[in-house]
């Protein structure tokens, strides 16, 4: 293995030194700079050609991932760039979502100095195959960056990846911390909700805390409502109120009729209806939807600083984030109507 990849090892050592120097001079590289200055040369070293690489690759939900890496026309890896110093763990769920939606098993996160390799078909701790700094990835080539060499991906080495003991322990510690944080967030959001149906609780909590796994939400709600453990796993959010909006083709707000082509149209029509009524104005912003997200703001950002994932510019110059599930769009629309003093009953859906 050492002889086979000796030239790659040498190039990686030079690359590592160059990136170390680059980040010392400019530690705040944005995502575009990370792509151009860090990822593009790394992929070349690892054997990926221009014909293998698709930039700004479209994925489910109308979003894009920075790179899709293909072999013989079949996508093998999705790679998403993050700005320098950005914590990768908070983006892990999104990359896994992209992979699952596209039926692509492996995903990679990279910010120029840290890298994560993810397996969308694994469970729990095993989803993260490894997390390391670029320095570690080069130094521990055989158990880290070797798995991203094109030739290794082509012969299926990723599918045979096995966690080493230190990585398993590292994952377990981090998963425990994340679980404790998620439970604390769930407790806070649970106390804000005044609904007694488990399925509806789950839908609201999923929209407010998208980073928390659905299974943990179901478990938490079941405990809080005294639902037996067996029932916790049987809660079907598809039968809960407002969860079936994806079959609707039109909607009414009062006497106004609107067509629905995408789930976000439900929210968009409601927001524009309120704008035309003179209700929703700049001084009302930001309009929150959970502890860290906003429905509407004066700029396409959440109050915590994160960008809207699917910004829509409104007729009065404000911005709406359309990145919500069908249930989330319906919940958001009804919440907005109530916020401005209108009954939820104004909103009707027609198949």
179-195 residue pLDDT tens: 788 778 777 766 655 44
Q: Distance (Å, rounded) from C-alpha 136 to C-alpha 170?
A: 15
CA distances from 9 to 112, 137, 241 (A): 18, 11, 56
Once rounded to an integer, what is the mean pLDDT over residues 65-82? 94
128-146 residue pLDDT tens: 888 899 999 999 998 899 9
Q: What is the residue whose two structure tokens read 């880290």?
A: 144
The kind and range of the H/E element at 252 are strand 250-253
- CATH, domain 6-163, list 3.30.499.10, 3.90.1570.30, 3.40.830.10, 3.40.605.10: 3.90.1570.30
- Note whether 258 and 265 are within 8 A (CB): yes
pTM of the entire predicted model: 0.51
Q: Choose from 40-54, 92-106, 150-164 the range with maximum mean pLDDT.
A: 40-54
DSSP 8-state class, residue 51: G
Give the residue with greater pLDDT, 101 vs 284: 284
Q: Collapse the DSSP code of 56 into the 3-class scheme (helix H, G, I; strand E, B; otherwise coil) and give the result.
A: strand
28-57 residue pLDDT tens: 999 999 999 999 999 999 999 999 999 999
Give the residue with greater pLDDT, 140 vs 214: 140
Q: Distance (Å, rounded) from C-alpha 343 to C-alpha 338?
A: 6
Question: What is the structure's pLDDT at 165?
Answer: 52
- Note whether 137 and 8 are within 8 A (CB): no
Question: What is the structure's pLDDT at 88?
Answer: 92
pLDDT band at 210 (very low <50, low <70, confident <90, very high): low
Can you spell out the DSSP letters for 189-237?
HHHH-----HHHHHHHHHHH-TTS-HHHHHHHHHHHHT--HHHHTT--G
- Percent of the chain at pLDDT > 90 equals 46
Give the residue with greater pLDDT, 176 vs 201: 176
Q: Distance (Å, rounded) from C-alpha 267 to C-alpha 50?
A: 40
Query: Nearest-CA neighbor of 137 among 107, 116, 106?
Result: 116
Give the residue with greater pLDDT, 201 vs 296: 296
Can you spell out the DSSP letters for 256-312?
EEEE-SSTHHHHHHHHHHHHHTT---GGG--EESSSS-EEEESSSB-TTSPBPSSEE
Average the pLDDT over each of 77-86, 191-200, 336-345 and give the range with the smallest value.
191-200
pLDDT band at 113 (very low <50, low <70, confident <90, very high): very high
Residue 255 has pLDDT above 50, yes or no: yes
Once rounded to an integer, what is the mean pLDDT over residues 308-314? 90
Q: Which residues contact 21 (CB under 8 A, 6 or more apart)?
A: none
- Note whether 174 and 211 are within 8 A (CB): no
If you average pLDDT over every residue of the chain, what do you get? 82
């Amino acid at each position: 293995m050492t002889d086979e990849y000796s030239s790659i090892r040498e190039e990686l050592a030079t690359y590592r030194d160059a990136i170390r120097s680059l980040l010392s001079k400019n530690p705040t590289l944005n995502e575009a700079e990370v792509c151009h200055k860090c990822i593009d040369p790394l992929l070349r070293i690892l054997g990926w050609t221009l014909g293998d690489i698709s930039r700004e690759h479209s994925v489910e939900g109308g979003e894009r991932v920075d790179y899709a890496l293909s072999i013989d026309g079949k996508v093998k890896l999705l790679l998403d760039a993050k700005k320098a110093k950005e914590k990768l763990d908070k983006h892990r769920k999104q990359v896994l979502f992209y992979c699952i939606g596209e039926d692509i098993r492996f995903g990679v996160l990279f910010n120029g100095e840290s890298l994560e390799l993810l397996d969308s078909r694994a469970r729990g701790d095993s989803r993260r195959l490894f997390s390391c700094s670029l320095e570690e990835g080069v130094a521990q080539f055989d158990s880290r960056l070797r798995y991203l060499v094109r030739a290794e991906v082509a012969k299926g080495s990723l599918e045979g990846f096995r966690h080493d003991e230190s990585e398993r322990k590292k994952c377990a510690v981090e998963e425990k911390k994340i679980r404790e944080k998620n439970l604390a967030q769930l407790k806070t959001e649970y106390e804000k909700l005044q609904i007694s149906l488990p399925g509806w609780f789950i839908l609201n909590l999923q929209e407010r805390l998208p980073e928390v796994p659905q299974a943990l939400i179901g478990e938490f709600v079941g405990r809080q409502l005294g639902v037996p453990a067996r029932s916790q796993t049987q809660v079907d959010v598809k039968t809960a109120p407002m969860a079936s909006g994806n079959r609707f083709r039109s909607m009414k707000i009062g006497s106004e009729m609107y067509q629905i082509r995408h789930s976000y149209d439900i929210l968009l029509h409601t927001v524009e209806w309120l704008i035309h009524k003179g209700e929703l104005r700049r001084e009302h912003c930001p309009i929150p939807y959970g502890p860290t997200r906003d429905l509407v703001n004066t700029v396409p950002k959440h109050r915590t600083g994160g960008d809207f994932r699917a910004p829509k510019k409104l007729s009065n110059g404000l911005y709406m984030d359309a990145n919500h599930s069908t249930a989330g769009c319906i919940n958001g629309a009804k919440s907005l109507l109530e916020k401005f003093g209108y009954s939820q009953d104004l909103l009707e859906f027609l198949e």
